[in-house]
Amino acid sequence: MAWTWFHRLASPPHVYRTAGRLAPWFAWPAAILIIAGLVGGLWLAPPDYQQGDAYRIMYVHAPSAWLSLMVYTIMAVAGGIGLIWRMKVAHAVAAAAAPIGASFTFATLVTGSLWGKPMWGTYWQWDPRLTSELLLFFLYLGYMGLRAAFEDLQRADRVSAVLAVVGVVNVPIIHYSVVWWNSLHQGPSVMYLGKPTMPPSMLVPLLIMFLGFTLFFGAVLLMRLRGEVLNRERTARWVAEEIGA
Amino acid sequence: MTPTRRRRLLLVIGILVGVSLAGGLALSAFRQNVTFYFVPTQVAEGKAPVGESFRLGGLVAKGSVYRKPGSMEVHFMVTDLKHEIPVEYTGVLPDLFRENSGVIVHGKLLPDGVFLADQVLAKHDQYYRPPGIHQAWGIRHGDPRDPALVQEAHTAPLHGSVVAATEYAK
């Protein structure tokens, strides 16, 4: 059957082994791309005509922000699949993704704040973009806290999945906050109205960083997923065979 | 898809739709409170709060910056290219503060029409370029003739840029 690969995704030992096999294919390209992107962004790209070298924090800030949104969306989709199909592996994906997403959100807030002080003149303002991103951070923390609050894994899975699905409404709000409202934050970077917002010498390293960060997330997710699956299946025989052998 | 799964799917979609609707309604109801700054035209039309602190956003009008000698006091005009509001501020200005560039000031509108600011923030846009390119165009950053800004104002009236906000205020 053509759907065998999909159904096998519901099998914890299969997921555990596949994740282990795939992880290096994400980790190594991620390392190479991030190093290349950093060299390109921090050394090769020219300084900005207005912000000078300060704009270079963008090479960490923008990919982190992108991932803070993408990881939450993945978490919500995985949570939804878990709710509808009662698929344990989907809940495991969501649970494994949450701390990574929270870390990227934290990195976004910190780098944004460090960028804001010299350029805007403030570390923090209760601006729509900044506030909605902070809300995202609290959603991640809430998700993780909610999971931890339940003894019973199944209840933790279901209740936290509902929170993940509810909170995903915030994702488009964050993205469009700079379009819908007056904001201190500039508009969407990279492409705007189908045109790049910066010359290739600045854009290419940024795109490399986007790809590198995304692959890095993939690698960490796969490794965390292995741990999550192992922990959930700790009484199963295949785990004993896998570990104890 | 089994009936139970379809029911759960509908439930999840229902949650999503419900929350989006509630969120959308709440946000549109609080639209005024979400306003991070007002543009000079809105102030001129009396849409900004009177006697209360608020933020005023716009471009620093070209040639309007005056620094009082021997002090930290600075005067300038904030414009949205239709209306101008004089601003008075004493303190350190952000690095990106310059004429023809975006600025957001926090303070109060005095009865004589002067905006007394207690904080000045610089707003930059999402366009990055190496030095020299914009000079080749003969256009300064933030200039309303900047093709990027003009484009923005015409196609995205709600965009957070100052010129776009002016368009919107009309």
Given the candidates 2.40.50.140, 2.60.40.3140, 3.40.50.300, 2.30.38.10, the CATH classification of the domain at B36-169 is 2.40.50.140
Asked if residue A213 belongs to a domain, the reply is yes
**Phi, psi angle pair for B108, to nearest 5°:** -125, 150
Does the distance separating the beta carbons of B141 and A55 come in below 8 Å? Answer: no
Confirm whether the ipTM is greater than 0.85.
no
Using the predicted structure, report yes or no on whether residue A195 has a pLDDT greater than 70: yes
More confident residue, A142 or B29: A142
Task: Give the tokens for residue A2.
Answer: 């053509």
How far CA A138 is from CA of A141, A143, A144, A175, in Å, comes to 5, 8, 10, 17
Q: How far is B114 from chain A, CA to nearest CA, in Å?
A: 22
How much of chain A, in percent, has pLDDT values that exceed 70?
97
C-alpha span between A32 and A140 (Å, rounded): 29
Q: Which residues of chain B have pLDDT under 70?
A: 32-34, 132-170
Asked if residue A8 belongs to a domain, the reply is no
Provide the pLDDT for residue A9: 83
Asked if residue A11 belongs to a domain, the reply is no
Provide the pLDDT for residue B143: 47
Provide the pLDDT for residue B6: 87
- The pLDDT mean for chain A works out to 92
C-alpha span between B107 and A157 (Å, rounded): 48
Provide the pLDDT for residue A82: 94
User: What's the length of chain A?
Assistant: 245
C-alpha span between B143 and B59 (Å, rounded): 9
Domain of A150?
Answer: 23-46+54-244
The tally of domains found in chain A comes to: 1
Q: How far is B86 from chain A, CA to nearest CA, in Å?
A: 20
**Phi, psi angle pair for B73, to nearest 5°:** -80, 135
The rounded Cα B61 to chain-centroid distance in angstroms is 15
Does the distance separating the beta carbons of A50 and B141 come in below 8 Å? Answer: yes
Radius of gyration of chain A (CA): 20
Pairing of β B84-90 and β B73-79: antiparallel
Q: What is the mean pLDDT of residues A1-27?
A: 88
pLDDT tens per residue, range B47-66: 888 888 999 999 999 999 99
Provide the pLDDT for residue B104: 93
Q: What is the mean pLDDT of residues A138-144?
A: 96
A135 CB burial (10 A radius; 0-12, 13-18, 19+)? middle
In the stretch 147-176 of chain A, residues with CB closer than 8 A to chain B read 162, 165-166, 168-169, 173
Asked if residue A1 belongs to a domain, the reply is no
pLDDT tens per residue, range A76-121: 999 999 999 889 999 999 999 999 999 999 999 999 999 999 899 9
Tokens 């003739």 found at: B145
Going by pLDDT thresholds of 50, 70 and 90, the confidence category of residue A170 is very high
At position A224, the amino acid (one-letter code) is R
Asked if residue A183 belongs to a domain, the reply is yes
Provide the pLDDT for residue B153: 40
How much of chain A, in percent, has pLDDT values that exceed 90?
73
Provide the pLDDT for residue A4: 80
Asked if residue A7 belongs to a domain, the reply is no
Q: How far is A26 from chain B, CA to nearest CA, in Å?
A: 30
Does the distance separating the beta carbons of B36 and A120 come in below 8 Å? Answer: no
Provide the pLDDT for residue B49: 83
Q: Which residues of B touch A162 (CB under 8 A)?
A: 15
Using the predicted structure, report yes or no on whether residue A69 has a pLDDT greater than 90: yes
Q: What is the DSSP letter of A55?
A: G
Which residue of B34, B95, B104 is in closest CB contact with A119? B95
SS (H, E, C) chain B: CCHHHHHHHHHHHHHHHHHHHHHHHHHHHCHHHHCCCECHHHHHCCCCCCCCCEEEEEEECCCCCEECCCCCEEEEEEECCCCEEEEEEECCCCCCCCCCCEEEEEEEECCCCCEEEEEEEEECCCCCCCCCHHHHHCCCCCCCCCHHHHHHHHHCCCCCCHHHHHHHHC
At position B97, the amino acid (one-letter code) is F
Asked if residue A232 belongs to a domain, the reply is yes
Contact A164, A141 (CB under 8 A): no
Using the predicted structure, report yes or no on whether residue A196 has a pLDDT greater than 90: no
Q: Which residues of A touch B125 (CB under 8 A)?
A: 186-187
Does the distance separating the beta carbons of B158 and A184 come in below 8 Å? Answer: no
Interchain contact B127–A (C-beta under 8 A): yes
Asked if residue A3 belongs to a domain, the reply is no
Q: What is the mean pLDDT of residues A17-41?
A: 97
